[in-house]
Amino acid sequence: MTPVHDEHAQPRERIDLPAPTTSPMVVAVGITLAFAGLITHAAVSVVGIALALIGAVGWWREVLPEERVEPISLRPIDLRPSAVVPSTAVERSSIGEGAHRTRVPVEIQPYSAGIRGGIVGGIAMAVLALAYGLIAQRSLWYPINLLSAVAMPALAHASLAELRAFSLLALVIGTIVHGLTSVLVGLLYAVILPMLPRRHMLWGGVVAPLLWTGLLWAVIGIVDPTLAARVDWPWFVVSQIAFGVAAGIVVARAHPLATMQTWPLAARAGVEASGAPFDQERDR
């Protein structure tokens, strides 16, 4: 049957676009494997070089001697959407409305709340650690000496009697390590918790301590298996959860501050204007 052509039909316009190809990705994977073989095995580099050559040849054939294109047909003019008419009116859009981009989080917790949360969480964690020392080891100094073993490797291989004995140097080092770590983790809570979904107490009090404990367990088990064997991990998990709950409560109760995206242009540009609302927010 001979196809029937409509003489009154408008010819469809067509543009030519470069044909899709996977050759650039193959070249990238090949180069990555070639360099990865320098630190793994020579066979990985051989496979990477072969992939890079295959991808390069394929890429070359895509553009030479003639570039491969893919024809794209356009709609007739009467079926295309109307052109956008520019408007001279300028309106101030609200955050998140009218397709205005919103950066998450809109509000953040002050850094001071993270510091306070780290201190309170560190105290809660220290109380449980000392309780473990009294109950399980009959010594307040056992958890302190064990913590100091991070900076004093000799303590990791010390006898049980030495770990239960008082050491002024271990007390100073353990207090410094515990205090700095608690404050830093508290600051992380203040920065990260506003970006997480709801139920911040679940994230900060349970999920984060479990992830942190798993990471420490894996790292200490590789770096110093002797020290890992001396840590009572159930008690460690409980103390970490106590830290997360205490720090999370302090951070969550702090008054949030609006990010710069809510400030007027003058504030973001650094122009001082006395009595402006953003001045009050920055002073908090």
- pLDDT tens string, the chain, 284 residues long: the values are 444 445 554 455 777 888 888 888 889 999 998 998 888 888 888 988 999 999 899 888 888 888 888 887 777 777 777 777 776 666 655 554 444 566 666 777 888 888 998 999 899 999 988 998 889 888 888 888 888 887 787 777 788 888 888 888 888 988 998 899 889 988 888 888 777 766 767 777 788 888 888 887 877 777 767 777 888 888 888 888 888 888 888 888 888 877 776 666 666 666 655 555 545 444 44
Distance, C-alpha 155 to centroid of its chain: 34
Residue count of the chain? 284
Q: Which amino acid is at 203?
A: W
Q: Which amino acid is at 18?
A: P
Say yes or no: domain 15-74 is CATH 1.10.287. Answer: yes
Contact (CB, 8 A) for 145 and 155:
yes
CB atoms within 10 A of CB 76: 11
Q: Report the pLDDT value the prediction gives residue 149, as an integer from 0 to 100.
A: 82
Q: Report the pLDDT value the prediction gives residue 1, as an integer from 0 to 100.
A: 46
Q: Report the pLDDT value the prediction gives residue 98, as an integer from 0 to 100.
A: 46
The terminus-to-terminus CA distance of the chain in angstroms comes to 82
Q: Which amino acid is at 129?
A: A
Q: Report the pLDDT value the prediction gives residue 101, as an integer from 0 to 100.
A: 61
Listed in sequence order, the residues at least 6 apart from 241 whose beta carbon sits closer than 8 Å to its beta carbon are: 205, 206, 209
How many Å apart are CA 269 and CA 263, to the nearest integer? Answer: 10
Q: Which amino acid is at 229?
A: A
Of 258, 103, 108, nearest to 190 by C-alpha is 108
Residue intervals of the chain classified under CATH 1.10.287 are 15-74
Q: Report the pLDDT value the prediction gives residue 13, as an integer from 0 to 100.
A: 74
Give the residue ranges of DSSP H helices in the chain. Answer: 23-36, 42-63, 111-132, 141-148, 153-156, 160-164, 168-192, 200-202, 208-223, 225-230, 233-253, 265-268, 277-282
